Amino acid sequence: MAMRAAAAAASFFSPSPVSPRPFFFATPLVPSPTGRSICRRRICAFPGSELTLEELNPSVELLRKTAEAVGDFRKTPIYVVGTDCTAKRNIAKLLANSIIYRYLCSEELLEDVLGGKDALRAFRESDEKGYLEVETEGLKQLTSMGSLVLCCGDGAVMNSTNLGLLRHGVSIWIDVPLEVAVNDMLKSMGTQASSDPDSFSQVMGKLRQQYDELKERYGVSDITVSIQNVASQLGYSSTDSVTLEDMVLEIVKQIERLIRAKEMMESAGRPF
């Protein structure tokens, strides 16, 4: 399986040239392809399922604020890291649509090559070195691509080589409550925390250990956005009130700060 993944790395990490994803300006209430009505501006950060790019159209207000904030930031790749969960992927997708970037998920690309989530999990557990090598090869190819939001798997932060490759763009740690990731994993297993507390405790223990091992590596990211912190800053009584647009706006604000800091450093380095 390792040889199969390595051989496929060059092809699956070489998508077609990046072009902006077309989108339509969102209206307050829009029917989704599944028949659901989705309030674009008030989608919570934990909608319970992964939404499609088409469902995650930014509001006109978000587009305006994004355009004002990022300015000449265009073509700088963005790498999203953190514990895997639907909230992380939904936020990354809405960010991509808001700044008119292409969205890709490295784990989904690997799943397509290997034959699904179970095959990817087996590959990672049986050959961690091979898994990291594939992640490295993919990052090498994708760091040359601008206008891209790449939702990264944990392999992107598990060694210094991959962390170094993330320096070619802007890295963002989406820090979510572990309960969100646990519920996602249980849902994928066809169970619920309320009906199987033992499974919840088991999965939580595993994810907690993984989080503790990687949080320092997540923490070297250029930007950290915590759902708990956003809720506190906005005066919400619960993280359940945080929306995807709240999260993207915080990311955009921090990107704007990075741009200003870079401009100040460049200005300070110029001769009089």
What is the mean pLDDT of the segment spanning 153-172? 90
Bridge partners, 105 (sequence order): 151
pLDDT, tens digit, 9 for 90 and up, residues 95-135: 999 988 999 998 888 888 888 888 888 888 888 888 888 88
User: Given this model, what pLDDT does residue 38 score?
Assistant: 42
Helix (H/G/I), strand (E/B), else coil: 127: coil
C-alpha dihedral (245, 252, 185, 196), degrees to nearest 10: -50
User: Given this model, what pLDDT does residue 234 score?
Assistant: 95
57 vs 29: CA distance, rounded Å = 11
* In the block, residue with structure tokens 């890295």: 171
User: In this structure, are residues 58 and 66 in contact, taking their beta carbons and an 8 Å threshold?
Assistant: yes
Does pLDDT of 150 surpass 90?
yes
Show me where the domains of the chain are located. 28-103+144-256
65 vs 23: CA distance, rounded Å = 17
Does pLDDT of 4 surpass 80?
no
pTM score, whole prediction: 0.82
Share of the chain above pLDDT 70, in %: 79
Helix (H/G/I), strand (E/B), else coil: 137: helix
User: What are the helix (H) ranges across the chain?
Assistant: 2-12, 60-70, 86-98, 106-114, 117-126, 128-142, 160-166, 178-188, 197-218, 227-233, 244-268
User: In this structure, are residues 206 and 249 in contact, taking their beta carbons and an 8 Å threshold?
Assistant: no
**What CATH fold (topology level) applies to the domain 28-103+144-256?**
Rossmann fold (3.40.50)
Query: 2: burial class by Cβ within 10 Å (0-12, 13-18, 19+)?
Result: middle
* In the block, residue with structure tokens 């033992």: 198
Of 184-193, 218-227, 239-248, 252-261, least confident by mean pLDDT is 184-193
pLDDT, tens digit, 9 for 90 and up, residues 189-243: 777 666 778 888 999 999 999 999 999 999 999 999 999 999 999 999 988 899 9
User: In this structure, are residues 152 and 159 in contact, taking their beta carbons and an 8 Å threshold?
Assistant: no
pLDDT, tens digit, 9 for 90 and up, residues 193-208: 667 788 889 999 999 9
Spatial strand order of the sheet with 223-226 comes to 102-105, 148-151, 78-81, 170-175, 223-226
